[in-house]
Amino acid sequence: MDKAYNHKDVEEKLYQMWEEKGFFKPEINPNGEPYTIILPPPNANGDLHFGHAMFVIEDILIRYHRMKGLAALWLPGTDHAGTETQFVFEKRLQSEGKSRFDFSREELYKMIWEYVSENRGGIENQLRRLGFSLDWSREKFTLDSDIVAIVKETFRKMNDDGLVYRDYRLVNYCTRDGTSFSDLEVLHEERVDPLYYVKYGPLVLATTRPETKFGDTAVAVNPNDTRYQKYIGQDIEIKTVLGKATIKVIADDYVDPEFGTGVVKMTPAHDFNDFEVGKRHNLEMKQVIGFDGKMNHYAGKFEGLYVKQARKAVVEEMQEKGLIEKIDEKYAHRVGVCYKCKTVLEPLPLEQWYIKVTPLIENAEKALDAEFVNIYPQSFEHTLRQWYAGLRDWNISRQNVWGIQIPVWYEVEDESKFAITFLDKEKQLQQGTLQYILQRGHSWEEILNGLQKVIADISATAVFEDQKKENKRYLPETDTFDTWFSSGQWPYVTLKTSKVGDFEKFYPTSVMETGYDILRAWVSRMLILGLYVANGKHVTEPTVLKQTVPFKDVVLHGLVNDPLGKKMSKSKGNVVNPLQVADEYGADAVRFALVYGTGLGNDQAMSYGKLDAAKKFANKVWNIARFIEMKKQENPGFTFASISLSELASENASDQEWIVKVGKLVEEINKHLDSYQFNLAAERLYEFVWHEFADKYIEDVKNRIDAQSFLLLSSLFMIQLKLLHPFMPFITEEISQKLGGDGSIMISEWPQIVSSKKK
């Protein structure tokens, strides 16, 4: 053996050997009890980041259960990540001086597909580089045709079961990315903005958004506010920057008398609360901001200005006309922004598809109550239940080109509703609809031919492909599914479309391991959708749920931050590439450092100190092996063998004591791994191997070594190598091969807990 362990000489070689021999497949233990983990699919739009290195937890579990004789399946895959991938690709186009508007829908989709295909291969190689023992023969992609078919089938079933519907309501809309988002994908930032006190005839009201006043269809007060009783139900005359107008005063309990003056303007087309008030009072909706983020014709001379520009211009003119009483420059409030580009989201009216979540949540809560699904750490179960309690119907429509197209068609009874009207030779359309249709990726040719709808018509009849009638014209739905709708079915669709019999054998899966930061976004949805698709019903009995939950245990790790404890971000320039670190320290050191010293569910700062310590630990293990090899070379009569604990015995009291100690170590590691305490297992192995076995036992035995003690020494060491293997697979395999181990340590038997005996 070389004097020092060089990870660069062994890692690629060993991984290739494991894969070629089929060791990653569950068939390696054909009679074993099934044990399944489905890899949380990385987004197929770029390189892995350090958070993905936490997949080491899943690899530890898979290697541990594989060695225990289970048919362990770790199924890999990637996610098309609709909005995120299109966002990344559009940034690439911008760097080339191009835009998504330069291409037809089909062209854009094809270009993104080619881009993703290039990246997916790179992601696979990165996962291999870190030693992850995934069964690549079963790899899946969320846009595989068989998966797409199931996702569409789920939507059809939910429609038949009355769980999906279309509605025209306000959505969180990013005017930069050109799509809506569900409530869950909205980031809320604390902002300090001016609060404007605006004169509305005899009343004064406070608002942060004077630019939306062109869409006001009422002002509201609290019905119990004695200051304004005489105005309720009355029309008041107001002055505006566009002239005089009249507006109605309504009373609604929503109004907080303590906010501002106790009077608020109602803009149902641009505020979620106002929208709900508007429905109660049958208020008109006037959309004054287009999907391009610009003011439309309702804004008069301010038409064409972006929102921020319009706000500044409107405020200046209102001040000139004496329509602003005062301005509070330091009003603190929360603002919703796009989680990708941080653009302030606009509440805009749009027809979308929604899922009724209440019946689905009932099943998930039953499964949690019956402990058919368990959350680790347990504190996160409360987080999940709280989110379920406040969940509103889920908007699953996205105005992206990249994704799974919602499989419905609209029967066009009155084609005039879909006609395109040009205002001038520059091809400008009313109410921002040009931007709306371009954001969906249509070419000018498609627009001019009128092949796609421009404005959603809620009265249009939606049908599926097999429901279309002859002599009728239909327009396809151009929205795609929210990515979480397809990835929310991931455990089900992957096993349904992998190898024959996989679903029957490996579902429900054993563990879903992922970061706690996507507990609500992904895990929660996998639970509600998994129960639905596996049952084919939306109401089930608890006894059925146990057999149809998508996973039995949810294991949540924390985030990996930069060395200063700050979240890694490309914009901050503090992203650390895990493969570069693996090149320097070795994949084993990276893996060990990520679990050592950090309990489940806790964040950690990437620590070069821990990496260095892990690398030194690997070298210590290597040096123990070199000592054993050296003694064998010095004494050709010594026999190296891997003997199980049940067969080990010695007349020497010290040796017998160490047999007992190693037996207790096995018991401890089993206990820690079975309870998902990976940090405790790693810490115990580190202390025992280095500071007990190496520092004490080897020092004791090296001065009295003979054939019997050598056999015991090498066997006890091999047991520790097996315990270390799930954490540090490369060095343990290399040592096992160097010392003449019987086959691969990866598929060797996990040490058994037995009582020691004397000979």
Report the pLDDT averaged over residues 414-430: 37
Contacts of 699 by beta carbon, 8 Å cutoff, 6+ apart: none
Q: What tens digit of pLDDT does each residue of 366-380 get?
A: 999 999 999 999 999
Average pLDDT value over all residues in the chain: 89
For the chain, domain boundaries:
179-348, 608-747
Q: At residue 184, what is the residue type?
A: L
Supply the pLDDT for residue 439. Answer: 46
Question: What is the rounded average pLDDT of the residues 52-81?
Answer: 96
Residues of the chain by 3-state class (helix, strand, coil), percent to 5: 45, 20, 35
Tokens for 607, please give them. Answer: 């620590």
C-alpha dihedral, 513 to 515 to 521 to 523, nearest 10°: 20
Lowest-confidence pick of 192-206, 466-480, 561-575, 725-739:
561-575
Q: Does pLDDT of 399 surpass 90? A: no
pLDDT tens digits for range 468-506: 988 887 878 889 999 999 999 999 999 999 999 999 999
Report the pLDDT value the prediction gives residue 460, as an integer from 0 to 100.
Answer: 67
| CATH no., domain 608-747 | 1.10.730.10
What percentage of residues in the chain have a pLDDT greater than 90? 69
Whether the pLDDT of residue 441 is over 60: the answer is: no
What pLDDT is recorded for position 644? 75
CA distance 259 to 262: 6
Are residues 511 and 57 in contact, defined by beta-carbon separation less than 8 angstroms? no
Instruction: With cut-offs at 50, 70 and 90, classify the pLDDT of residue 306.
Output: very high
What is the predicted pLDDT for the residue at 51? 82
Q: Are 463 and 409 in contact (CB under 8 A)?
A: yes
Across residues 291-307, what is the average pLDDT?
92
DSSP 605-630: E--HHHHHHHHHHHHHHHHHHHHHHH
pLDDT at 96: 92
pLDDT in tens, 240-258: 898 899 999 999 999 999 9
Selection from 496, 553, 488, 485 nearest residue 523 by Cα: 488
Phi, psi of 86 (to 5 degrees): -65, -35
**Residue with token string 């010594």:** 638
Residue 535 — very low, low, confident or very high, per pLDDT cuts 50/70/90? confident
Chain centroid offset of residue 216 CA: 38
Q: What is the pLDDT of residue 176?
A: 85
Please report the beta strands in 209-345, taking only residues with DSSP state E, as ranges in sequence order. Answer: 218-221, 235-240, 243-251, 263-266, 324-338
Average pLDDT of span 284-312: 93
Does the pLDDT at position 447 exceed 80? no
Give the mean pLDDT of 642-671: 87
Contact 227, 262 (CB under 8 A): yes
Sorting pLDDT into bands at 50, 70 and 90, what band is 236? very high
Condensed to tens digits (0 to 9), the pLDDT of residues 668-696 reads 999 999 999 999 999 999 999 999 999 99
Give the tokens for residue 353: 């598809």
pLDDT digits (tens, 9 = 90+) for 137-149: 999 999 999 999 9
Quick: pLDDT tens for 540-597. 777 888 999 999 999 999 999 988 888 887 657 788 888 999 999 999 999 999 999 9
Q: How many residues does the chain have?
A: 759
Q: Among 61-65, 81-85, 735-739, where is mean pLDDT lowest?
A: 81-85
Three-state DSSP state, 461 = strand
Average pLDDT over residues 743-758: 78
pTM of the model: 0.87
Tens-digit pLDDT profile for residues 33-57: 999 999 999 988 877 788 889 999 9
Count other Cβ atoms within 10 Å, centred on residue 733.
24
How many other CB atoms sit within 10 Å of the CB of residue 542? 12
| pLDDT given at position 545 | 87
CATH for 179-348 is 3.90.740.10
- pLDDT given at position 427: 35
Q: Which two tokens stand for residue 414?
A: 């009155």
Cα–Cα distance for residue pair 141/78, rounded to 1 Å: 5
Rounded Cα distance between 100 and 577, Å, is 30
Measure the CA–CA gap between 595 and 746, rounded to whole angstroms: 20
3-state SS, one letter per residue, for 683-719: HHHHHHHHHHHHHHHHHHHCCCCCHHHHHHHHHHHHH
Q: What is the rounded CA–CA span in Å between residue 106 and residue 443?
A: 9
pLDDT in tens, 6-17: 999 999 999 999
In the structure encoding, which two tokens stand for residue 467, read together?
A: 């429901």
Instruction: Decide which of 717 and 455 is more confident.
Output: 717
